[in-house]
Structures are given as structure tokens and as C-alpha cells.
Structure 1
Amino acid sequence: MARRALILVEGHRSIGLLYVNAAQRLGLHPITLSADPAQYDYLAPESIEAIRVDTDNLDALIAECSRLRATYDIVGITGFAGDDESISVTIGKLCLHFDLPGPNPASIERCCDKFAQRQVLNEAGVSVPAYRMAVNATEVQSFATDIGLPVVVKPALGSGSIGVKLCRNVDELAEHTTYLLGSKHAWRSSPRILVEEFAEGPYYDADIMGSEVIAIGAAEFGSPPGFVFREFTFPAPLNDNDYKSIVDVSLSCLRALDLGWGPTNIEFRWTKRGPVVIEVNPRLPGTPDPQLVQLAYGVDLITEHIKLTIGDECDLHSRHLQNAAARILVPDHDGILDWIGGGSRAAAMPGVAEVKFYVEAKKSIIRKGDYRDWIGHVIVASSSVARTEVILQRAVDLIDWSITPFSTLGEEE
């Protein structure tokens, strides 16, 4: 009998290995298809089968999967969007081609286009920020004036807050527009810039599997103008009515966008008019959401997603088990990382679930104002909110690093 295989299109620096491990626990053989397998540092050490293929080319992926079917019983196909959410659409098309469970590619494509998503939600009566679509600097300036500063300016396609900035005055608006329309931001198509109202208020996100809201968490960002997460908390500190409001709006988003298969992550700001939808992401978020949801609610989103992908029955029964939180480690200046340490001591503390560093000594640190600024995280859980906060702070206090600024290096030379 052929070995049952799970195809993973591309990888993921924070949850890729979690998918590999979950697949193996389910008795599956994970195979990664990637344009550059070497970029995923967990593949070689774990001896994970990885094949180089142009993942932008649907025909190439179909050909490779067809070749693999001569050896394996391919029971599921999934993968990771990374910086390019079009891969999620490709995965949906692959699943359709091979008659495997998967998302509707048309729904995913519409959802990944932030402008199209805004239009659909607005027409469905879902509360979203005021928005306009611009294709040049003149339109950006005009639409920002119409909406009123401050505004959030971002690419219509993309993820991880790449190219997303809060523009608080005309100078910041002009600077960021020049950046987006220049050669520094990588566009996969003609530039399309979303200019939208800055919805002020606490941030929440809902993690959904199928049409069931599994968990709602809260998060905080670092200093503007970027949107770099600093801390996450599950469950979110919400009363029953506010929790129900977010659940109801989440389900409205699924209906409007024709989602309802697999994972969805919806981001909100709680404003004077209640929960405002910032973004609907037709995928599972990366670290730390999956780990925090498992600690706080007892649901392994990654395992359940794989089970759904291979046509098995899911167990989405959630219950409040613990209060879980994560702190993201973010440097305050650029330079060369001399050293980073304290992880072992922090990990040994009672209540600490995970400590992970993403960088090694002697690496260049160049902050970009998005998720790529993260250099590590600490995840903790306990029986109370107060105790979780104490453990988290004590663990983070044990971690330190040193970064020599580039300007200093230049002086030394």
C-alpha cells in the first residue's frame, strides 16, 4: 500500500515545523514543494522530503504532484501564504484539480485582494474603515484628504504588515507613498494602494475553523508608524456581550466572502461604533496564535486543519483551560547582533511554554516596520491573568541581547 502523503506548498518560519510534526503524528508523510527549500531551516535537520519547484506555476505544481502520485497516496494538499497570499489561491486550485478537500479558490482570491474584500464587506453591512483605492501619488494625497489624517496606507495585496504604515501628517504620507511607488517595495502586479481610515481602539482577532469561532484574542502593537505586534493574550478580556458581537461579525464576514472551509483569521479594532473589521485572512495565522489557542482553549488548530485537509473528522470542541500570553522580542535599533541569550533560563521557569529565537549571533538586524522585525518570542500560560502577566515579564527580563549599530561599526573601521 502506498504511503499516505501530505503536500505542503512552501513553508513557514514559525509554524512550518508544527505542521510537519502534526502530519507525522497523524501517520502522514509530509512533502514540501518550494521554489527554494533551503530558506526553511527546519527541513534539513528533520530530514523532511523537500522538492524544488516553481510554486508560482500551477502547471508545474500539478506536474510534480502527478509525479509524486506514482509513489505516494496524496491524501491532502495545503501550505503557507508567507508574504505572497496568491499561494493560497494556488493551493485551492490544486485541491480542485486533484479532487481533494480544500478552499474555494475564487473566494480566497477575492479575500486576498484587500480592496475587493472591503467592497464585499461594506456591501454586506459589515463595519469597515472608510477606504479608497489609489494607483498614483496624486490619488493617495487626494483620498487621504477626503478621509482625513491620520490614515493607514498599504498595498492592496500582501500580508504580515509589509508596506503598511500609519501616516499622521502630509510629510509621512508623501514619504510612504514614495516608498511604495518606488523600487524598494516589491509589487507582483501594477501598484494598487489602499488608503483607509485609522480605526482607533483595542485590537482583537478571531481564530476560526470552518464556520466555528474557536478563540478570540487581544494584541498590542509597538510604537507607530509601523504595525509590529508586541504582545498577545488569549482569551481576550471581553464581557459576554462584546464577545458575542465579535462572533456575530465574524460569521457575517464568512457569509459575505463565501468562506467557511478551513482556517480564517479576522482582525478587529473596537471603536466607538463597536467592532470594525480591519482584515479577513483566509488562512491560519502564524506564531503565536496556534500555540496560545491550544494552551488557552485546548484546540490544536494545526492538527485540526490537517485533519480537515485529508477529509478526517475534526474535534473543534473548545473550553477555557488557561490564560495564555506571548511577548514578541523586537530590537530598538539596527546593526549586527553580537549575542542573544537567557533563553534556557526563561524556558525553565514554571508556566513558560516556549521560548524561541529567530536569529543567530553575527546576523544583520535591519528593521522594516513589520513582522520581519521579530527576533524571538516567549509564550506562557497559567490559571489567572495576573499570574500569566507576572510570569511573562519575569521570563522576558531573563532574556537580553546586544546589537552593535552600523554607524559604530563604520567608525571602528
Structure 2
Amino acid sequence: MTGRWFALVESNTTGTGRDFAVAAARHGLRPVLLTRDPGRYDYVGELGLPIREVDTGDPAAVEAVCRRLDPVGVTSSSEYFVQTAAAVAGRLGLPAPDPAAIGRCRNKAEQRRWLAAAGVPVPAFVACHTAADAADAAAKLDGPVVVKPVYGSGSLGVRLCADPDEAFEWAARVLSGGQPAPGRPAPGPQLLVEREVTGPEFSVEIIDGRPVGVTGKYLGPPPYFVEIGHDYPAPVPAATTAALAAVAVEAVRAVGHVVGPAHVELRLPDGGVPTIIEINPRLAGGLIPRLVRQATGRDLIDEVVTGAAGLPAAQPAPGGRSASIRFLLPGREGLLAGVTGLEQARELTGVIEAQCRLEPGAQVRIEHSFVDRKGHVIASGPDPAAAAAAADRALARIRLVFADGPTAPAGLSLPV
């Protein structure tokens, strides 16, 4: 690689992190990973990716490294470093989203306040400092509530609580570090308590303030919110797609995040209006960009990389199909003896990928977050129903064999 440097500030450990580096190289750039711990990323060795070890928690240190590199662009695929990347890019005079708008999105309490002030539909909410505050908020909201960290991603530390006692117990656990809830410590409220919004969940994928499309999302059993599958495009009427997209665009405009990617999650209550669950100031996780590429030919990762580098995006390949993903989530804990059915799954019509990261001898734990996703199957088809059916058939072929008991399905059943 002989082109100019393209700086990636940390990365997803799963999902699209590798794809960012590949996209940059495809455009003749020299991707370089700025990281505190290169060992976290398996793909670094695979790609021969240059690295610069730096305290990525220190924006000034990141900026100093970038000034020495003189990159053509700076970005991140990680929820936790998009604001740092945007701030550094802006100070170097490179294309970037507004770091202040990213900060408003990352702080879920601040995000809620901005959206509510703009009249965007959001759940009733209370920002809390302590477990006692969370219990009081649950009593005030009078019904099942969702308790979540103000900072966080991937459903870490998020739980549905039936009453004030449950809200107190969960909040105390999160605040004590008993439940993973990564995110930078900051003054102010640490928890958000909000009234539960029922109904199917969707996400709207957005680039530069304009909707790309709507994804149908499936969640595992309550009281947690682990995403177990996605369909793109969402199998809903055109009017529903338009309504979801309109509210999502209104939301990103309300917080000022109109440059770069956004992944806006919503719920659609029965007979109600689309309600914002949260704005994520980054591309979707859960391999949704791959679904979009399979279904439409549009490469969102390429668009983010070229946007950050000030280059024209590649033209979309032919599309007009649908794509679905189903995640491998062990239904139990234990010592894994092996995985069966992957090859059979790959041979099914419509299946594009079938992967499992678990190896024999792994001790399987359940965390009730995205880290429980140990692999996936992706399938495509001429319409959403065909793609979803192919993905479901593939997942049903895969079994986890435990050393201390019978085999178990490699995925959770989707809601009917």
C-alpha cells in the first residue's frame, strides 16, 4: 500500500471493524489502526494492518499521532471512539461529523432531553444518579420500566424491570460493576429509567441525514434486549417504512447529527406512532451493513470511509433482493465439546454465510448482551419472507454439543 494514511481509532472486535480497513485499502489508502491493545483484534495479523499503539482514551494523544501521520481521514467503527475520531478529524481540517452532536447521542439522558424538547416521540424517562433514584423513577413512571446505563452499547446493562424493587436491584448491580456497562465515566446521571414501549422493533439506517432503509429487528426473551436476528428490508408496508424513516430523520436533525452515519432504533406500538429508543451515531452493528449490501448493492461502510477521506463513494452494485441474519446464541452455559451442522447450513439454498466462533473446550457463559452472539448465518432471497426462511432453516441445522449433556440449538426462537 502506497497511498496516504487513513486512521482508524480502535475498532469493533466483531462485525464491521475489519471491513473498514479493507474498504480503505480498496480505495488506495493505507489503513492504520490506532489502539491501546492490538491483541484485541484478530484481523490485524490477517491483513498485515499497520498499527500505532496509543492511549486512545486520551484525545490529545490520538491527535498527536494523527498529526505525525498526516492522514487523509480519521474515523472509527466503535461506538466508544466515534466522538474522539470526529474531534481529531475536525482539528486536522478533515471531513467529520459534529463531535458535539455525537456527544448528545452517546449520552442517552442528554439525547432524550433534546428529542423531547423538539417534540420527537420518546418514552417517558427519568435520568438517575443512584439505585434509590431508579426505584423512585420506576414508581413515578408507574409500570414496567427499562433501566439502562447513560453510556453504553450492545444491550450491555439494559434490563426490563417490573416494579421499583427490581429497578433498585438492577440499578445497584449496574452501578456496582456487577453487570458490564462500558462507557466513559462522566459527571451527571449514570442511569436512564424509561417507561417500557411495546411493539415490534426496527432500525433506520441513515447516512448524512438521509434514510437508507429500514431493518426489522428481533429480540430475545425479556427481561433482556439481546438482538437475535435482523431482516433487511423490514417486511412491513411501504407506509410503515415511510413513517419510521420520517421519525428517525426528525430525530437526527433534532440532535444535529446530520453528517456521517446513524443507526436509529425505534419501536412501533400497536396503533401508535414510531417511538425513538435511541440514536447511535455510527453505522449499525449486528452486520446490518452486510445485509444492506447483499439486498441493495449499496456499501455503507464504503460510503463512511470515502466520506471521511473526502473521496467519491463507489457506485452500488445491482440489488433488488432481501437479506436476513440469525445469530448463534447458546441457550445454556457449559463446557462446549463441539459444533455440528455448519456445513449442512452452508449448503442450503440462499445461505451466504454460516459461521461460529466457538471452539471445542470453550466455557460458554451467558451475559445477556451482544457478547452472547457466538456466530451467525446470513441468507438472501427475492423477498423478505424468502430470505428470512432461508436464514431460519440454516440456523436450525446447527447444534452445540456440550460435554456434560445433550446437544442444544445454536439459536433462540424468533417471536411469532
Taking structure 2 as the reference length, what is the TM-score of the superposition? 0.91
Q: How far 1:405 sits from its partner (Å)?
A: 6.3
Amino acid paired to 2:379: V
In structure 2, the residue corresponding to 1:106 is in which secondary structure?
A: helix
Amino acid paired to 1:79: S
Which residue of the other structure, out of 118, 122, 136, is the alignment partner of 1:142?
136
1:214·1:316 contact (CA, 8 Å) conserved in 2? no
1:130-167 CA deviation, whole Å, 9 max, x = no partner?
Answer: 00011112211111011122100001111111100011
In structure 2, the residue corresponding to 1:38 is in which secondary structure?
A: helix
Q: How far 1:177 sits from its partner (Å)?
A: 1.8
1:334·1:405 contact (CA, 8 Å) conserved in 2? no
Q: Which residue of 1 aligns with 2:293?
A: 294
Note the 1:156-175 alignment, pairs <5 A.
156-175=150-169
Runs of 5+ in structure 2 lacking a partner? 406-416
Which residue of the other structure, out of 73, 77, 88, is the alignment partner of 2:74?
77
1:224-252 CA deviation, whole Å, 9 max, x = no partner?
Answer: 11111112111112222222211211221
Amino acid paired to 1:277: I
2:147·2:158 contact (CA, 8 Å) conserved in 1? yes
Q: Would the alpha carbon gap of residues 223 and 125 (structure 1) be closer, same or farther in structure 2, given more than 3 Å must change? A: same
Q: Which residue of 1 aligns with 2:239?
A: 241
1:215·1:297 contact (CA, 8 Å) conserved in 2? no
Give the whole-Å Cα distance in 1 for the aligned partners of 2:238 and 2:46: 46
Q: Which residue of 2 aligns with 1:326?
A: 325
Across the aligned residues of Structure 1 and Structure 2, the Cα RMSD in angstroms comes to 2.0
Q: How far 1:296 sits from its partner (Å)?
A: 1.6
Q: Is residue 64 of structure 1 aligned with residue 65 of structure 2?
A: yes
Q: Is residue 10 of structure 1 aligned with residue 4 of structure 2?
A: no
**More off after superposition, 196-205 vs 55-64:** 55-64
Note the 1:1-400 alignment, pairs <5 A.
3-12=3-12, 13-69=14-70, 74-82=71-79, 85=80, 87-185=81-179, 188-189=184-185, 192-271=190-269, 272-314=271-313, 321-400=320-399
Amino acid paired to 1:213: P
Give the whole-Å Cα distance in 2 for the aligned partners of 1:188 and 1:11: 16
Give the whole-Å Cα distance in 2 for the aligned partners of 1:2 and 1:395: 42
Q: How far 1:171 sits from its partner (Å)?
A: 4.4
Give the whole-Å Cα distance in 1 for the aligned partners of 2:52 and 2:404: 38
Give the whole-Å Cα distance in 2 for the aligned partners of 1:361 and 1:215: 39
Give the whole-Å Cα distance in 1 for the aligned partners of 2:352 and 2:242: 29
Amino acid paired to 1:56: G
Q: How far 1:317 sits from its partner (Å)?
A: 6.8
1:134·1:193 contact (CA, 8 Å) conserved in 2? yes
Which ranges of 4 or more aligned residues in structure 1 deviate by more than 4 Å? 315-320
Amino acid paired to 1:220: Y
In structure 1, the residue corresponding to 2:4 is in which secondary structure?
A: strand
Give the whole-Å Cα distance in 2 for the aligned partners of 1:202 and 1:317: 30
Give the whole-Å Cα distance in 1 for the aligned partners of 2:104 and 2:366: 31
Q: Would the alpha carbon gap of residues 387 and 245 (structure 1) be closer, same or farther in structure 2, given more than 3 Å must change? A: closer
Give the whole-Å Cα distance in 2 for the aligned partners of 1:116 and 1:130: 14
Amino acid paired to 2:91: H
Give the whole-Å Cα distance in 1 for the aligned partners of 2:119 and 2:313: 31
Give the whole-Å Cα distance in 1 for the aligned partners of 2:165 and 2:325: 34
> How many percent of aligned residue pairs carry the same amino acid?
33
1:200·1:270 contact (CA, 8 Å) conserved in 2? yes
Amino acid paired to 2:72: V
Aligned residues: 399
Q: How far 1:298 sits from its partner (Å)?
A: 1.7
Q: How far 1:313 sits from its partner (Å)?
A: 2.5
Give the whole-Å Cα distance in 1 for the aligned partners of 2:51 and 2:362: 26
**More off after superposition, 194-203 vs 15-24:** 15-24
Give the whole-Å Cα distance in 2 for the aligned partners of 1:245 and 1:318: 27
Q: Which residue of 2 aligns with 1:409?
A: none
Runs of 5+ in structure 1 lacking a partner? 407-413
2:232·2:384 contact (CA, 8 Å) conserved in 1? no
Give the whole-Å Cα distance in 1 for the aligned partners of 2:404 and 2:268: 38
In structure 2, the residue corresponding to 1:274 is in which secondary structure?
A: coil
Q: How far 1:64 sits from its partner (Å)?
A: 1.4
Taking structure 1 as the reference length, what is the TM-score of the superposition? 0.92
Q: How far 1:342 sits from its partner (Å)?
A: 2.6
Q: How far 1:390 sits from its partner (Å)?
A: 2.9
